[in-house]
Structure 1
Amino acid sequence: METLPLTILVLVGCFFIGMPIFMSLIISAVVAIMHCGYLPLSIIHNSLFDGVNIFPLLAIPCFVIAGTLMEYGNITKQIIDVVKQLVGRLPGGLGITTILACTFFAAISGSGPGTVAAIGTLMIPSMVRSGYTPSYAAAAASSGGTIGILLPPSNPMIIFAILANVSVTAMFTAGIMPGLMVAFFMTGMAMIKAKMEGVTVDREQPPFNLRVFLKSLSKGGFALATPFIILGSIYSGMATPVEASVVAIVWALFVGIVINRALELKHIRLALIEGAMLCGTVLLIVGASTLFGKILTYEQAPLKLANLVLGVSKNPEIVLIMIVGILYFLGMFMETLSTMIILAPVLLPMVKSLGIDPIHFGVIMVITNEVAMLTPPLGVNLFVSSRIAKISVEKISIAVLPYLLVLTLCILLIVYCPFISTWLPALLGSGM
């Protein structure tokens, strides 16, 4: 058997028996090295070191720590209070509030499941008390949480920028318009679903009062300023994404301790532990995928895949739709970062040969991975909201189907209208 088919077979076999992603990648790579006979064993430790010795990766654990600190520091609740004042009396107001709060919190944490946990813990019980079904509440929180990986700062955006050798700032900028578009369509779906289920006006929410709104706006001013400080430092050129992630931590500590007086030492400890655990996970996968990627390059896997796909069609849109279909399927079984780390190096040479902007392709990969967060058996957002709402994942899976339809529509719009993701980076002059 040739080396490449054997490598893929071993990788699939490791996945099938439930082996961790990083071990599956390392084992399949080692098998390939032993089988081909022309690669030195030194490539293993060199690749593992090269994979983790990437400076922009530091931004990921820092943004996670900042998001956790903001959750414990009462910033999340203040964001929800302000948004609820604006849209709480609309049909499906609490569902809309949940999605908009997730959108706002996404510009802080960069994590999908983290956004679901932070917003869902407060909003799902509130929705159930106001007459929404638990499945509606859990579906709104799960779907809104997917926006966390599209809007900056986004952990998958950072990973893709590293893999594609493009600017992290350009990727962040490219995700803004698609993220806002997804949020807009999702709020519309939340309103439609609420009307279909007979929930028109939330019973707990009082009518809009300008004085009360201004009071909540004043009280939550520091919380609402958070994403503008983080992203403003990046886009103004005052800080790199890594430096901005540290700014986020300092700001979270300041608001949580000095302003809100809600952040305690135990909360800081929990945030540091969560950031360290994610950092360890990401570094293991990135290091292993670097080794696996080198094997694929030596075996000319990107070229062979390109010839296979281009044999079906050379139309860029058709090729992107085929890639989206593959990502839909793999997303049911593989974690978001793993899918991106494994496939991006293989797919990028092909899409570049078709003249597809790598920034545009990166946005498509990220937004398609939003679908993966809502599709069992691996849909992580479903499991988070399931624990909060105390209902089965199966019920939530059915309830999120309308939101999956919305996401699919957004993906098709981005595929056929590249300017949605490329015009803002071009306007702001973000480097590629």
Structure 2
Amino acid sequence: MIIFGSILIICTLLLLGVSVHLAFGAVLAFLAVMGGHDVAGYLPTGHWRMDSVVLLAIPLFIIAGGIMERGKIAAPLVAMAELFIGHIKGGLSIAAVLASGVFGSIAGAANATLICIGSIMMPHLRKANYPRGLSAALLVCSSPLGLLIPPSTSHILYAWVAQQSVLRAFLSTIIPGIILVVLLIIVNQICLRKHKDIKLMKRPENFGLALKTRSIKAFPAMMMPAIILGGIYGGVMTPTEAAGVAVLYAVPIAIYVYRGMTWKQFRETMLHSGVTIGVVMAMIFMVLIVSRFLIFEDIPAIAEELIYSVSDDPIVILLMVNLVMILVGMLMDDISGLLLCTPLLLPIVQSVGMDPIHFAAVLGVNLGMANITPPTAPLLYLGARVTEVPVNEILKPTLLFIVFAWLPTLMLTTFIPQLALWVPNLLLG
């Protein structure tokens, strides 16, 4: 009864709009008062300790993402994409997806990607007569690419909780991320066929000169992912060190090269990032305590027994596990969902032979999709504010992208293990 009461409290508070860390805090109070549990005994210890160096990468990437968002570092990346494909029908939409992938790979946060790329691309899409509901939905559905294209803060947390290699967790989502980019573009192009009044950008008469000019301007921005990813995969830097380098590199680029912010605005950015970091770390702390409660009470074994009582077919089990992750993700953000699902579901998927790194990819796709799936759908409502398009106009095309892009990516990632394991095995042995 205590478990069901805890679940009821979480679901009720989240549906009422209470923040995640307060909802989980209420559960801890309920466990202490009604269940007689020693909540202090569930404090994160061992390899889950909150003073882990791995966790330091999360606030650093949040700061880097904030600087990129406000420092106009993404603008030259968008301009480069527009130069190559802006003259074809749907080219601006394709540029939006590609820019979201590149920016997300650096910032590692879906909300920063949506705010930055959405604010840059939406005025261009409106000016070119792209349907605003479809365009806003595409920007919303492309923003979680930062969870799939490394480095990703979510996968840093997964590797920490599941005691797996951070690099392998990063690499597991590269192919699923590419598949999702392709499917989003295809679905969008099909939806654009009935729109005949789209204006195409004129290709510059002196393409070579334009390419040279924009390449020079975009070079500092393009060097950022090259330094971060090259340092991590080249074995020169750990993800935490790469996050620190990203911050140090982004500051002078944003202030002196692109002049997107002043030192005063940098201070405001740091204050804003500090608030975000505080909320995220408090949320991680609260959810971790609840996760440890689940482990100490042997809830993963109970859940495994319950699922096997329904079916022992691996396909059915994996479908049920995916359904649980989707439902969890619909109620809370990706970090909270990851911290809750990893200890609960990892033993179950391992019992049917799924590799933990394979599960990292499945979890990444699931939680990315959950961020745009109603009823909670935090990115959907954020997208409505950023693009200034009503939610009811965004909802239908968003559901199309979920059904024909996100869900196929999830099914392929779940049932074809090599999509997640091939790149890690190729590069890391």
Equivalent in the alignment of 1:417: 416
Are the equivalent residues in 2 in contact too, given 1:160–1:362 (CA < 8 A)? Answer: yes
Are the equivalent residues in 2 in contact too, given 1:51–1:283 (CA < 8 A)? Answer: no
Structure 1 residues 17 and 119: alpha-carbon distance in aligned structure 2, compared to 1, 3 A threshold: closer
Are the equivalent residues in 2 in contact too, given 1:90–1:201 (CA < 8 A)? Answer: no
In the TM superposition, residue 360 of structure 1 has moved relative to its aligned partner by: 0.9
Structure 1 residues 256 and 389: alpha-carbon distance in aligned structure 2, compared to 1, 3 A threshold: closer
Are the equivalent residues in 1 in contact too, given 2:69–2:112 (CA < 8 A)? Answer: no
In the TM superposition, residue 49 of structure 1 has moved relative to its aligned partner by: 12
1:348 maps to which of 346, 349, 357:
346
In the TM superposition, residue 15 of structure 1 has moved relative to its aligned partner by: 3.5
Which structure 1 residue ranges, 5 or more long, are not aligned? Answer: none
Query: Secondary structure at the residue paired with 2:144?
Result: helix
In the TM superposition, residue 44 of structure 1 has moved relative to its aligned partner by: 5.3
Q: Which amino acid aligns with 1:105?
A: F
What TM-score results when the alignment is normalised by the length of structure 1? 0.92
Structure 1 residues 45 and 189: alpha-carbon distance in aligned structure 2, compared to 1, 3 A threshold: closer
Q: Which amino acid aligns with 2:272?
A: E
Structure 1 residues 207 and 112: alpha-carbon distance in aligned structure 2, compared to 1, 3 A threshold: farther
Residues 280-304 of structure 1 show CA distances to partners (whole Å, capped at 9, x for unaligned) of 1221122112221222122211001
Structure 1 residues 44 and 429: alpha-carbon distance in aligned structure 2, compared to 1, 3 A threshold: closer
Identify which range, 176-185 or 77-86, moves more after superposition. 176-185
In the TM superposition, residue 207 of structure 1 has moved relative to its aligned partner by: 7.0
Structure 1 residues 416 and 41: alpha-carbon distance in aligned structure 2, compared to 1, 3 A threshold: closer
For residues 394 and 207 of structure 1, what CA distance do their matches in structure 2 show? 41
In the TM superposition, residue 352 of structure 1 has moved relative to its aligned partner by: 1.6
Query: Secondary structure at the residue paired with 1:54?
Result: coil
Equivalent in the alignment of 1:233: 231
Equivalent in the alignment of 1:25: 24
Structure 1 residues 71 and 9: alpha-carbon distance in aligned structure 2, compared to 1, 3 A threshold: closer
Query: What is the identity percentage for the equivalent residue pairs of Structure 1 and Structure 2?
Result: 27
Matched, 1:377 2:387: no
For residues 109 and 74 of structure 1, what CA distance do their matches in structure 2 show? 13
Q: Which amino acid aligns with 1:414?
A: T
Are the equivalent residues in 2 in contact too, given 1:47–1:290 (CA < 8 A)? Answer: no
Equivalent in the alignment of 1:400: 398
Are the equivalent residues in 2 in contact too, given 1:92–1:195 (CA < 8 A)? Answer: no
Are the equivalent residues in 2 in contact too, given 1:92–1:201 (CA < 8 A)? Answer: no
Equivalent in the alignment of 2:316: 318
Equivalent in the alignment of 1:249: 247
Which structure 2 residue ranges, 5 or more long, are not aligned? Answer: none
Residues 133-165 of structure 1 show CA distances to partners (whole Å, capped at 9, x for unaligned) of 211221121111121111112121112112211
Are the equivalent residues in 1 in contact too, given 2:69–2:115 (CA < 8 A)? Answer: no
In the TM superposition, residue 208 of structure 1 has moved relative to its aligned partner by: 8.4
Equivalent in the alignment of 2:53: 55
Q: Which amino acid aligns with 1:79?
A: L
Equivalent in the alignment of 1:158: 156
Residues 379-404 of structure 1 show CA distances to partners (whole Å, capped at 9, x for unaligned) of 22222221233221111011222211
For residues 320 and 208 of structure 1, what CA distance do their matches in structure 2 show? 54
Equivalent in the alignment of 1:177: 175
Q: Which amino acid aligns with 2:319?
A: I
Q: Superposed, which structure 2 residues align to 1:188-207 within 5 Å?
A: 188-198=186-196, 202-203=200-201, 206=204
Q: Which amino acid aligns with 1:65?
A: I
Structure 1 residues 120 and 46: alpha-carbon distance in aligned structure 2, compared to 1, 3 A threshold: closer
**Structure 1 ranges of 4+ moved more than 4 A:** 33-37, 44-51, 203-208
Q: Which amino acid aligns with 2:394?
A: I
Aligned length: 428
In the TM superposition, residue 35 of structure 1 has moved relative to its aligned partner by: 4.5
Query: Secondary structure at the residue paired with 1:52?
Result: coil
Q: Which amino acid aligns with 1:417?
A: I
2:70 maps to which of 65, 69, 72:
72
Identify which range, 181-190 or 78-87, moves more after superposition. 181-190
For residues 131 and 279 of structure 2, what CA distance do their matches in structure 1 show? 36
In the TM superposition, residue 252 of structure 1 has moved relative to its aligned partner by: 0.8
Equivalent in the alignment of 2:363: 365
Equivalent in the alignment of 1:132: 130
Equivalent in the alignment of 2:213: 215
In the TM superposition, residue 13 of structure 1 has moved relative to its aligned partner by: 4.2
Structure 1 residues 386 and 10: alpha-carbon distance in aligned structure 2, compared to 1, 3 A threshold: closer
Matched, 1:224 2:222: yes
In the TM superposition, residue 367 of structure 1 has moved relative to its aligned partner by: 0.8
Structure 1 residues 80 and 184: alpha-carbon distance in aligned structure 2, compared to 1, 3 A threshold: same
Q: Which amino acid aligns with 1:151?
A: I
Q: Superposed, which structure 2 residues align to 1:81-96 within 5 Å?
A: 81-96=79-94
Identify which range, 65-74 or 224-233, moves more after superposition. 65-74
Are the equivalent residues in 2 in contact too, given 1:86–1:208 (CA < 8 A)? Answer: no
Structure 1 residues 334 and 244: alpha-carbon distance in aligned structure 2, compared to 1, 3 A threshold: same
What TM-score results when the alignment is normalised by the length of structure 2? 0.93
Structure 1 residues 253 and 364: alpha-carbon distance in aligned structure 2, compared to 1, 3 A threshold: same
In the TM superposition, residue 206 of structure 1 has moved relative to its aligned partner by: 4.8
Q: Which amino acid aligns with 2:210?
A: V
In the TM superposition, residue 328 of structure 1 has moved relative to its aligned partner by: 2.4
Q: Superposed, which structure 2 residues align to 1:113-132 within 5 Å?
A: 113-132=111-130
In the TM superposition, residue 88 of structure 1 has moved relative to its aligned partner by: 1.1
For residues 17 and 131 of structure 1, what CA distance do their matches in structure 2 show? 38
Q: Which amino acid aligns with 1:329?
A: L
Are the equivalent residues in 2 in contact too, given 1:157–1:172 (CA < 8 A)? Answer: yes
Q: Which amino acid aligns with 2:183?
A: F
Residues 229-248 of structure 1 show CA distances to partners (whole Å, capped at 9, x for unaligned) of 11111011111101100110
For residues 422 and 118 of structure 1, what CA distance do their matches in structure 2 show? 31
Are the equivalent residues in 1 in contact too, given 2:129–2:198 (CA < 8 A)? Answer: no
In the TM superposition, residue 132 of structure 1 has moved relative to its aligned partner by: 0.8
Q: Which amino acid aligns with 1:415?
A: T
